[in-house]
Structure 1
Amino acid sequence: MRWLNLLLVLLYPVSWFAPLMKAGLLPLFGMSEISVISGLQALWGTDIALALVVTAFALFAPMLKTLGLALVQFGLLDRRALPAIGVLGKCAMADIFLIALYVTLAKGMGVGRIETAWGLYLFTGCVLASIALTIAEGRRAAPQSA
Structure 2
Amino acid sequence: MRYANLLLLILFPIAWFAPLLRAAFLPVFGMDEISVISGLQSLWRDEPGLALLVTFLAIFAPYAKTIGLALLHFGLLSARALPGLQFLGKLAMADVFLIALYVVLAKGAGWLSIETAWGLWLFSFCVLSSLVISACSAARPAEKV
Using the size of structure 2 for normalisation, the TM-score is: 0.97
Counterpart for residue 82 of structure 1: 82
Shift of 1:88: 0.3
Q: Which amino acid aligns with 2:62?
A: P
Q: How does 1:48-59 map to 2 (within 5 A)?
A: 48-59=48-59
* Deviation per residue, 1:8-55 (Å, 9 max, x gap): 000000000000000001122100000000000000000000000000
CA distance, structure 2, for counterparts of residue 48 and residue 77 of structure 1:
34
Identical counterparts, % of pairs: 61
Q: Which amino acid aligns with 1:140?
A: R
Q: SS of 2:115's equivalent? A: strand
Q: Which amino acid aligns with 1:84?
A: G
Shift of 1:120: 0.2
Q: Which amino acid aligns with 1:141?
A: P
Counterpart for residue 5 of structure 2: 5
Counterpart for residue 40 of structure 1: 40
Q: Which amino acid aligns with 2:16?
A: W
How many residues matched?
Answer: 143
Q: Which amino acid aligns with 1:92?
A: A
CA distance, structure 2, for counterparts of residue 41 and residue 74 of structure 1:
35
Counterpart for residue 67 of structure 1: 67
1:104 aligned to 2:104?
A: yes
CA distance, structure 2, for counterparts of residue 44 and residue 137 of structure 1:
36
CA distance, structure 2, for counterparts of residue 112 and residue 138 of structure 1:
43
Runs of 4+ that moved beyond 6 A? none
CA distance, structure 1, for counterparts of residue 98 and residue 136 of structure 2:
26
Unmatched tracts of structure 1, length 5 or more: none
Counterpart for residue 134 of structure 2: 134
Q: SS of 2:29's equivalent? A: coil
CA distance, structure 1, for counterparts of residue 70 and residue 79 of structure 2:
11
CA distance, structure 2, for counterparts of residue 132 and residue 10 of structure 1:
17
Counterpart for residue 121 of structure 1: 121
Q: SS of 1:98's equivalent? A: helix
Using the size of structure 1 for normalisation, the TM-score is: 0.96
1:16 aligned to 2:24?
A: no
